[in-house]
A and B are shown apart, each in its own frame.
Chain A
């Protein structure tokens, strides 16, 4: 870009400041982790990363995030649908509150969910006689993660639902389809990219969640220890090498999901950006 082409001033200043700030706040810290991980030998690295306790943590994290993400996808769809399509009392209140998990500090969410689902909690006391224990079990983790991921699915779906042209449904009706057929064959397929994106975002967030989970899980290794808790545990024991190794695994997975989501959105844009 020749300097002559820039009418507006400030390119050097703003880009310079941006890069400087970005480097200090993000790039240098992130690279520190990879440097530190590189200081481990391969054997050390794999020993930590594939230790039974770590494997148990991965399974639990993935499983719980998967479950939470699926619940959020299904119910998030219902919430988004009703918010966009129907009128009912308190609708605006609900619309505002959907973002609560974004705004509420995770420790507050954590202690509240724990107290609700503990054996003597409002909900826990009710479920216990039925043989369902929530607090200090993987189920509790799923509950916490569902809470955390909810806004992602709803907010990803809402704009897409709002933009859906009614003409497609009208066309299906003139061709003889009933509401259910129209929904399954015309509306739902158009929502698949948004559904996948919402799920991926919720899943990624839930994988890394700490504050909401640390209280309700009980942190029992091999039983209710998710990966962020495992990392924290190692940090508290000053096992920085171990913590770093596991963190690297998490980061690679998280970045992969980020790339996947970007890719999904590009595909969706290409396929559906047409009359």
Chain B
């Protein structure tokens, strides 16, 4: 089922949670709503579910207006951040709940319910835990029960609110892969909320980057990481160095160094003014002396070996601090130490220019 959100606006008193949100989600997609706390992502998810009502705007499922429908009528599955499993019911009873509260006419017989529940528990690999209570399960297991419970009523849409937020890093990774496989198997349209960009990039077909109630960018993982639309997105997904610079007559200057711009980035020909230049730490080259390509001087301030890369911190000639990630071999070749004077060459094709 596809989702169309048009001009959604939501306020809580004076607080604007969502400001004019427009978003279309294709049938069968797995979409991530990515942002910090307060960005509005959870509110948006709840509006899709019907747990909140927008002040303005429409929610459509497959073209049909759903804005006036209550939660029950929307047939969406919702997995809560803390699972909301019914503590006084066993795992089996939790998963069976949605089937047992159906209207008489639609309710399957108990044998059928039992079969479906067991199939689902098998699907989430918990079929031997049917008689346990939620208190006896681990976080990861509870999460899977919550998922099974939602899938039992065959919703047309699956909504997940920070599904892995409360789990350990290892469990999170496992469940991420597991969820991706599950989605490929079932193919249900899914939207999940997260503040973890790694999670969003790994799982989602498309990522919706949100900030302060607005959508900053919608795109595939590739697009939002390598072709960010603005400094916020650029900085939110991975690290980035930001420099103040100038544009004069189509040429871009970092400090005093003229630099060629990204051919796919925003056009600045003929433009003049200040600009923000963004460059990821691993896309800057450290060279002992200028070699003809544009570069600027800097002094090493500290060196932090960090796993596969060495993170070198420097101060540029004009005072901005810069972080450069260098591979180990290159680092050894350069033989850097704090106080060393070097030159930094941006890999021009990767420099982003945002005009202010």
Contact = CB atoms under 8 A, between A and B. Distances in A.
The winner among A165, A185, A271, A272 for most chain B CB atoms within 10 A is A185
B97 A174 contact: no
Contact of B80 (A167, A185, A273): A167
Contact of A167 (B71, B84, B102, B152): B84
B80 A170 contact: yes
The size class of the interface chain B forms with chain A is 20 to 34
B83 A175 contact: no
Given A177-B97, A186-B86, A274-B134, A171 B80 contact: yes
A181 interface: yes
A35 interface: no
A56 interface: no
Contacts of A129: none
Given A170-B51, A170-B78, A274 B97 contact: no
B101 A171 contact: no
A267 B80 CA distance: 26
A237 interface: no
Contact of B101 (A170, A176, A275): A176
A178 interface: yes
Contacts of B149: 175
Interface string B47-80: 0010100000000000000000011100111101
Nearest to A165: B84
Contact of A185 (B49, B97, B142): B97
Nearest to A184: B101
Contacts of A271: 87-88, 133, 135
A182 B232 CA distance: 43
Nearest to B142: A275
Contacts of B134: 274-275
B87 A174 contact: no
Interface in A140-176: 165, 167-168, 170-176
B82 A175 contact: no
A128 B87 CA distance: 50
B101 A181 contact: yes
A178 B31 CA distance: 29
B150 interface: yes
Given A176-B72, A176-B101, A274-B134, A171 B88 contact: no
Nearest to B95: A175
Nearest to B88: A189
B71 A185 contact: no
A178 B83 CA distance: 20
Given A185-B97, A274-B134, A173 B71 contact: yes
Contacts of A273: 135
Interface residues of A, number: 22
B82 A172 contact: no
A172 B51 CA distance: 12
A177 B87 contact: no
Contacts of A174: 49, 51, 71-72, 76-78, 150
A229 to B, nearest CB: 42
A271 B150 CA distance: 24
A175 B134 CA distance: 18
A139 interface: no
A273 to B, nearest CB: 8
The winner among A173, A176, A189 for most chain B CB atoms within 10 A is A176
A176 B149 CA distance: 12
A190 interface: yes
A273 B87 CA distance: 9
B50 to A, nearest CB: 8
A224 to B, nearest CB: 42
Contacts of A177: 72, 97-98, 101
The winner among B76, B97, B133, B134 for most chain A CB atoms within 10 A is B97
Contacts of A181: 101
Contact of A275 (B75, B78, B83): B83
A168 B84 contact: yes
Interface of B: 49, 51, 70-72, 75-78, 80, 82-84, 86-88, 97-98, 101-102, 133-135, 142, 149-150, 152-153, 166
Q: Give 3 nearest A-B pairs by CB, closest first.
A: A175-B98, A274-B135, A171-B84
Given A189-B86, A275-B82, 6 more contacts: A167-B84, A170-B51, A174-B150, A190-B87, A271-B133, A273-B135
21 contacts: A167-B80, A167-B82, A168-B86, A170-B51, A170-B78, A171-B80, A174-B51, A174-B71, A174-B78, A175-B149, A175-B152, A175-B153, A176-B101, A177-B97, A177-B101, A178-B72, A185-B86, A190-B87, A271-B135, A274-B135, A275-B82
